[in-house]
Structure 1
Amino acid sequence: MSAPAAPTGSPVTAAGRPARSARSARSAADALALRVLSALLREDVLGLRTRAAVEQRADGAWLVAAGLGIAVPVAADGFQSEYAARLPLVDLDGRPTGDLDTVLAALAERADAEDRPGWAAFAEECRQTLATMELHDRVRDEVHSALADLYGADPAHWSGPSATLGHDALAAFLDHPVYPTARGRAGLGEPELRSYAPEFHPVFELRWLALPAGTLTRHGERPLPPWWPTPGRLSLDLPGGDPAWETLPVHPLTVGPALDEALRATGLDERAVLAERPHLPVVPTLSMRTVAVAEDPVHHLKLPLVTATLGRLNRRTIKPGTLRDGAAGQRLVEAVLAREPRFAGRILHADEQTWAHAGHELLAVLLRRQPAGPPGSVTVPLAALLAPAPGAGGRLVVDHLAARFYGGDVVALYDALLELLLDWQTTLFGYGVALESHQQNTSLVLDEHGDPRLLFKDDDGPRVHTGRLAESLGELTSVREAFDDARTFADDDRPLTDLFATITGHLCTGALAFGLAAHGRAGLDELLTLLRKRLTEAVERTGPAARPLRAALLDAERLPVKAMVTAGTLLSKRRSGATDINKHYTDGPNYLLAQSGSSPKGSGR
């Protein structure tokens, strides 16, 4: 078996497809196996972590779960887990194998019979992800070249709302910091990826439904943009003319049996009319189900997709209640901003008040309006900072940004990000609010002077401390009524500290520290010391309301860690006990502790 290589990502065009070499295929397979095995250890699936002991063998450390007949070669990790898989290899009852299908089948046999469908689904996720990784490896250089032709050779000069989509494309080739098969999309093959996935940066046209006026539940006072089509512009000649109808965009991947069933379920199958002619060119953003209008890219449309990512239960549809929650979350954030003038102009937020739905998760749309940034500014999702940039030399997007805005000092850029991000998120916590603003929903905005700003979107799924919010805003009743999801509100800080640790901590700041160190941009100790320093300053600046953050993040022996494979794919909600599959946790070592060190075995949460 070849030595594991770091996975590389690449966008794709519809041009020729060079045959992949056996070496590149093995590299992708090995990289995926390492990620999957590390995730299973981190989440303590079947007790692989807590029911195992470390055994030193001739080649290094192995984690041996004797009761399961399983041993995995491991190395010290420290980021969310004591150990990560060291080799793409598993010892099954004394028989070594590097074939991931074989390993997952063996683990499924050891699982409860009720859970085996989840294991079968995860094995399929792995196969889909491997195919996508190999596709990325084949086409990265080609797509990078196309992006450079569109936006320029240096991504630090990709300014404006259209060029931001180029950064989304670069980010789409990276793996998720936690979920091992994030590059796979359930049920979508190469033709669909080439046509609709962000890493290919395609342009395609939407489909449109005409519905009788009054069918849609609408929210938002601002008028629709002039490009929003009437039935007449869609070449539909309908009874009563345009005033008697309203239109709803549909992603092309949703058209078909799933859409037909949604219309039947809502009683609209005999009244809705699907325009035959596609209309409105769009470009996918990093989330894929959200697309930017090609000729007006400050406007994004979030549309339901009949696929799943980050787990079989994590469907990319849009439940109507999440539209209401996102709008309420935006208003809550803006209420805090109004009371914190030092963040004025430094914290930006997309307008997500305009949405519509027909009472079904496949019949919905959010019209997102991006705020105007400073002229010539560059907007980069945090998920893109560690992405390889176009061109030779192994430079990352963060290298280019540091060269333009921070005199080539990557650590200075990281520090500027930490200072603003942690100050803002800790201030929110002081009001009793924690956001699920992960690395895809948070963007760094840099103007020609290098002054950092942050741009946020997608505020559904926050956690709110009822008592502290009432004390700070005094508007608890109206805030509660604005949200659809009762899980938003809590009477203690645990849901908030868990969310802060796993999102702002692991995904937005910790993953960058470990990633920058892995790429040799700085020493890990230096980066983690800086992260701890900035978080400590933010906690002290916020005062007594932030004490729970100090206890839960800065001083705790262990930190919450997302158990995404367990809750998203392997187990049903009944079996996992997860009330929210994106907020189901295990635990791992606290890399923020002032004194380093970890125990050989993790404890269960």
Structure 2
Amino acid sequence: MHRPSPIETRLAAELAEARPDLVDRYQAELPGARAAVLTRLWRALAHEPLPWVARRVRGAHSLALWLADGRALHGPRADPYATDAYVTAVRLDGEAYDDPARLMTDLGWPHSAGFAAELANSAASLALSRADREFSAEDPEEWPDRDWEWEQRVVDGHPFHPNCRSRPGFSAAEQLAYGPEHRPVVRLETVPVAAGDCLLTGDWPDGLRDGEQLLIPVHPWQRAHVLKGGSAEPWRDAHPLMSLRTLALPGGPHVKTAISARLTSSVRDISTYSIGAAMTLSAFATDLASRTDGLLHVTRTLGAVTADSPDLAALLRESPEVYAAAGERVLPVAALATTGLPGSPSWLAEFTRLALTAGLRLLDLGVALEAHGQNLLVVLSETGAPLRLVYRDLADIRLSPARLRRHGITPPDLTGRLVTDDEATLRRKLFGSLVAGALAGTAGSGPALATALETAVRHLPATPDLAALLEGPLPAKALTLMRLSPEVPGDQWAALPNPLADTR
């Protein structure tokens, strides 16, 4: 069925130059990588409100999609919370497709050609990531001690986005040099900008100043591909984290840089709005987290700067490691699947209770976190028990002035997209990222998620937000619809089957 895509062929040729020892492994990983991307795409076709799908007919083990143009798609029943690559092929009008890019091309929907290229890039890059996979066993005694080592264990990227590993504009050599799963050390650079031409909030260290100039850390990929021309100097070695453009300085803070490339859905630059709001938001969120009785900490923003451009900006943030005591480990929730811990129903239920307790408490106070598996971290004891949570990256949370005032809390002096009192928006933000994202990705399947939720919610205080979680469909970002309708601004949403529906 499969014909190698131009992107797969190009990446193989580049790999033959950069790492010839990986070529055979890369080729061997391609079928599984295509299946992983196809599984994510099939989830979207099965559950997102796509206007080109007229009707869905679900059987005991199969799913039929009747398209608006009269064609039919057939495949396996789609578990919206499964993380295994269980879809190896689907049939469009009887023809089998094992390549998600070719399927999207032949569907011929608006913007499908561009999305198909992203899917091909995702599958090829995922095969490369898996070909270079290397991490220790699930034994706690073999677990990493440093935060960036945990981030390197997350090989497959986003558990539900078809663009889970899409890195357009990155050659094979650049993926090996900058992708965290390849375990590189990246030499950050600095670009000098006159202080009067910058917006600076917070403290900027002396080591990033030169007289009347501020030195803005930049990623070498950004320097080569976007910031062409001008002066730059080597600065510090750093370890890339899951987001690729955020890096850990050994013994120091994390540095969030701008990479003006579309990774998964978004172009990863840093807006002037985010820089201007950074310190106000950090101080407020840190204070609010203290109301969770130690369940959750928020990493503080130390300083943020932009040269009046989303392509030349940086943010310094404290490392989550500061919230781990001796013998404890702090790791992104996305890395939990590499520990084996979620295989224990009791452990998964306890972690779910911890995450929901903290998330719902903050939501009730007036803050909806974007608590997906990258932003949300968990502190584990020496034996692997979940102790507390750490949250990082406040750029996409939502604040409700009405809820805050109801609790006697003065809202921060912020305006714009971060601020809303709309109940649906607030709940979508938390439930879509935490439950349909972090918890679902950790559980790995609908039945496992349902069991964990059913156990955890017994111990939660009854609130209108909890009732909304229990009673309705579960919101999740319609990630494929968003890529196929770029003319529609903002997030679009799918309503997934409530995993608790069969347990109540």
TM-score by shorter chain over 0.5: yes
Query: 1:602 matched to which residue of 2?
Result: none
Give the AA of the match of 1:508: A
Matching of residue 259 in structure 1 with residue 227 in structure 2: yes
Q: Cα 1:213–1:21, aligned 2, differ >3 Å: closer, same or farther?
A: closer
Q: Distance in 2 between matches of 1:33 and 1:505?
A: 22
Q: Cα 1:246–1:513, aligned 2, differ >3 Å: closer, same or farther?
A: closer
Q: Secondary structure at the match of 1:31?
A: helix
Matching of residue 300 in structure 1 with residue 254 in structure 2: yes
Aligned residue among 256, 265, 275 for 1:323:
275
Q: Distance in 1 between matches of 2:386 and 2:259?
A: 37
Identical positions, percent: 23
Give the AA of the match of 2:237: P
Matching of residue 170 in structure 1 with residue 170 in structure 2: no
Q: Cα 1:97–1:211, aligned 2, differ >3 Å: closer, same or farther?
A: closer
Give the AA of the match of 1:382: V
Mapping 1:581-596, distance limit 5 Å? 583-593=491-501, 595=503
Mapping 1:544-563, distance limit 5 Å? 546-550=463-467, 552-556=468-472, 558-563=473-478
Q: Secondary structure at the match of 1:79?
A: coil
User: TM-score by structure 1 length?
Assistant: 0.73
Q: Which has the larger radius of gyration?
A: 1
Q: Cα 1:509–1:209, aligned 2, differ >3 Å: closer, same or farther?
A: same
Q: Secondary structure at the match of 2:394?
A: coil
Aligned residue among 333, 340, 359 for 2:308:
359
Tell me the alpha carbon deviations over residues 440-485 of structure 1, each in whole angstroms, 9 at most, x when there is no partner: 0111112337461211101122222322211213413xx1x2x35x
Q: Cα 1:491–1:280, aligned 2, differ >3 Å: closer, same or farther?
A: closer
Aligned residue among 452, 456, 460 for 1:538:
460
Tell me the alpha carbon deviations over residues 203-239 of structure 1, each in whole angstroms, 9 at most, x when there is no partner: 1211211222333221114x62x6x355xxxxxxxxx
Q: Secondary structure at the match of 2:330?
A: strand
Q: Distance in 2 between matches of 1:287 and 1:593?
A: 34
Q: Cα 1:85–1:470, aligned 2, differ >3 Å: closer, same or farther?
A: same
Matching of residue 488 in structure 1 with residue 488 in structure 2: no
Matching of residue 206 in structure 1 with residue 188 in structure 2: yes
User: Offset at 1:430?
Assistant: 1.4
Q: Distance in 1 between matches of 2:67 and 2:393?
A: 45
Query: 1:570 matched to which residue of 2?
Result: 484
Query: 1:234 matched to which residue of 2?
Result: none
Between Structure 1 and Structure 2, how many residues are aligned?
A: 485
Q: Cα 1:156–1:73, aligned 2, differ >3 Å: closer, same or farther?
A: farther
Mapping 1:36-435, distance limit 5 Å? 36-48=41-53, 50-54=54-58, 61-65=62-66, 67-79=68-80, 86-92=87-93, 94-108=94-108, 111=109, 115=110, 118-140=111-133, 143-144=134-135, 148=136, 154=139, 157-158=142-143, 160=145, 163-171=146-154, 173-221=155-203, 224=205, 228-230=207-209, 242-256=210-224, 258-260=226-228, 274-275=231-232, 277-294=233-250, 296=251, 298-311=252-265, 314-340=266-292, 342-343=293-294, 346-370=295-319, 371-387=322-338, 397-399=339-341, 410-435=344-369
Q: Cα 1:79–1:26, aligned 2, differ >3 Å: closer, same or farther?
A: closer
User: Offset at 1:133?
Assistant: 2.2
Q: Secondary structure at the match of 1:255?
A: helix
The answer as to whether partners of 1:34 and 1:86 remain within 8 angstroms in 2 is yes
Q: Distance in 1 between matches of 2:121 and 2:191?
A: 31
The answer as to whether partners of 1:536 and 1:554 remain within 8 angstroms in 2 is no
Q: Cα 1:398–1:321, aligned 2, differ >3 Å: closer, same or farther?
A: farther
Q: Distance in 2 between matches of 1:537 and 1:410?
A: 19
Tell me the alpha carbon deviations over residues 242-295 of structure 1, each in whole angstroms, 9 at most, x when there is no partner: 4232211111111146224xxxxxxxx8xxx513x422111101110001113x
Give the AA of the match of 1:170: R
Q: Secondary structure at the match of 1:123?
A: helix
Q: Secondary structure at the match of 2:211?
A: helix
User: Offset at 1:165?
Assistant: 0.9
Give the AA of the match of 2:274: T
Matching of residue 466 in structure 1 with residue 424 in structure 2: no
Q: Cα 1:186–1:155, aligned 2, differ >3 Å: closer, same or farther?
A: farther
Q: Distance in 2 between matches of 1:80 and 1:139?
A: 27
For the aligned residue pairs, the C-alpha RMSD in angstroms reads: 3.0
Q: Secondary structure at the match of 2:372?
A: coil
Query: 1:456 matched to which residue of 2?
Result: 391
Q: Secondary structure at the match of 1:385?
A: helix
Query: 2:6 matched to which residue of 1?
Result: none
The answer as to whether partners of 1:283 and 1:293 remain within 8 angstroms in 2 is yes
User: Offset at 1:352?
Assistant: 0.9
Tell me the alpha carbon deviations over residues 536-569 of structure 1, each in whole angstroms, 9 at most, x when there is no partner: 53232xxxxx31331x21012x2222111221x2
Q: Secondary structure at the match of 1:125?
A: helix
User: Offset at 1:14?
Assistant: 4.9
Give the AA of the match of 1:248: I
Q: Cα 1:427–1:215, aligned 2, differ >3 Å: closer, same or farther?
A: same
Q: Distance in 2 between matches of 1:530 and 1:293?
A: 36
Q: Secondary structure at the match of 1:436?
A: coil
Q: Distance in 1 between matches of 2:59 and 2:355?
A: 41
Q: Secondary structure at the match of 2:437?
A: helix
The answer as to whether partners of 1:17 and 1:138 remain within 8 angstroms in 2 is yes
Q: Cα 1:334–1:68, aligned 2, differ >3 Å: closer, same or farther?
A: same
The answer as to whether partners of 2:62 and 2:77 remain within 8 angstroms in 1 is no
Give the AA of the match of 2:400: H
Q: Cα 1:26–1:470, aligned 2, differ >3 Å: closer, same or farther?
A: same
Query: 1:235 matched to which residue of 2?
Result: none
The answer as to whether partners of 1:62 and 1:71 remain within 8 angstroms in 2 is no
Q: Cα 1:254–1:154, aligned 2, differ >3 Å: closer, same or farther?
A: same
User: Offset at 1:361?
Assistant: 0.2
Query: 1:29 matched to which residue of 2?
Result: 34
Q: Distance in 1 between matches of 2:484 and 2:68?
A: 21
User: Offset at 1:64?
Assistant: 3.9
User: TM-score by structure 2 length?
Assistant: 0.87
Which ranges of structure 1 fall in alignment gaps of 5 or more residues? 3-11, 231-241, 261-268, 388-396, 403-408, 518-523, 541-545, 597-605
User: Offset at 1:86?
Assistant: 4.8
The answer as to whether partners of 1:73 and 1:85 remain within 8 angstroms in 2 is no
Q: Distance in 2 between matches of 1:35 and 1:437?
A: 20
Query: 1:265 matched to which residue of 2?
Result: none
Q: Secondary structure at the match of 1:443?
A: strand
